[in-house]
Amino acid sequence: MIINSSEFENLKKDGLILKKNVLDHDIIKKIKEMIKLNNEGKGVSESHFPITIKAFIIKLIKFDFIKIKHTLFLLNLKNKLNLELIAKNFFNKNSNLDMVDCYRNKIQKNEILPWHSDQAYSGAKTIDRIAPADQFYLKFLFYLTDVGPNNGCTSYIPGSHKITHAVRSCLYENKIKYEPFWEISDLVNLINKKDNYAHIVNKLGSEIELNDFLNKANLIIMNKENNLYDYHASAGDLLIFNEGGLHKGSKPSLNERLVLRYLYSQQ
């Protein structure tokens, strides 16, 4: 798989791109079977795969040869698709594969996850736990079922990753006081505080861009059923996105949602 210069530009600008028809029918079927085998009888919706030597040894000790076989298949798949090269080119430095997992969500009326920003330090209590703003994941999300508006797509506000990066930078540099901003309403409240707003505008370099984001965020807060940032994707399509941007897992209201995910960070 190749990501051309135009797609990289869009990934940097918007925080996400959608690649069509990356996985063929046979691979989708194989991964679906793997998810079923890993989840069957366990009552869980998520399966993690061992990607470190220590994790492999633990699986060997437990004679979990099926999980090892599945992991090798998934590692071979990411090599064929050049995911590490794509991540390296995105970060402009070597990258780490930090996680591989599959999960399924049954048909439901509630959102999988509300609007939020990852790497929002929601668990931090003191400033010394704030990580540098450039510590975030580039996620490769392969859809194994069809998704769409209010049916399992990962909704995303384009360009919002720049806003949260500016916020995290100001926090790390101790220019603004820490408070959690995982949820979209908390992030808006944090930005709108007078002193915070000025520092974030300065870090971002554009008051217009910040105000545009706030307008979009406020529309979502006022109308949670708003699906302006939803999209249609088919089984086999790939969403690549910067996890720092504002996103949500919309409710899978029509069919169950199955996905395969690879998480990369920069070294």
What are the pLDDT digits (tens) for 59-112? 888 888 888 899 999 999 999 999 999 999 999 999 999 999 998 888 998 889
> Taking a C-beta distance cutoff of 8 angstroms, is the pair 119, 131 a contact?
yes
Q: What is the reported pLDDT for 35?
A: 84
C-alpha 153/C-alpha 112 separation (Å) is 10
Identify which of 259, 258, 230, 221 has the alpha carbon closest to the alpha carbon of residue 150.
230
* Cβ neighbourhood burial of 84 (10 Å; 0-12, 13-18, 19+): middle
Query: What confidence tens digit (pLDDT) does each residue in 151-172 have?
Result: 999 999 999 999 999 999 999 8
Give the residues of the chain that fall short of pLDDT 70.
39-46, 121-130
Q: Could you say which DSSP state residue 78 is in? A: H
3-class SS at 119?
Answer: coil
CATH number of the structural domain spanning residue 65: 2.60.120.620
Q: Note down the domain range covering 160.
A: 5-266
- Residues β-bridged to residue 180: none
Total domain count, the chain: 1
C-alpha 167/C-alpha 8 separation (Å) is 23
**C-beta neighbour count of 155 within 10 angstroms:** 21
Give the predicted TM-score (pTM) of the model. Answer: 0.92
C-alpha 118/C-alpha 139 separation (Å) is 11
